[in-house]
Amino acid sequence: MEERSRVRRGGTIIGCDFHTRYQTIAMLDEATGESTEPRLDHQNGEAEAFYRSLQGLVRVGIEATGPIR
Say how many domains are in the chain: 1
Which pLDDT score, from 0 to 100, does residue 10 have? 78
Instruction: Give the DSSP letter string of 1-65.
Output: -HHHHHHHTT-EEEEEEE-SSEEEEEEEETTT--EE--EEESTTSHHHHHHHH--SSEEEEE--S
Residue at 8 is within a domain: yes
Contact predicate 9/57, CB 8 Å:
no
Residue at 68 is within a domain: no
Long-range contacts of 43-49 (CB under 8 A, 24+ apart): 47/22, 47/23
Residue at 11 is within a domain: yes
**Mean pLDDT, consecutive 10-residue segments, the chain of 69 residues?**
52 92 95 95 96 94 73
Residue at 67 is within a domain: no
Residue at 69 is within a domain: no
Which pLDDT score, from 0 to 100, does residue 63 have? 79
Domain of 26 in residue numbering reads as 2-62
Which pLDDT score, from 0 to 100, does residue 2 have? 47
Which pLDDT score, from 0 to 100, does residue 66 have? 64
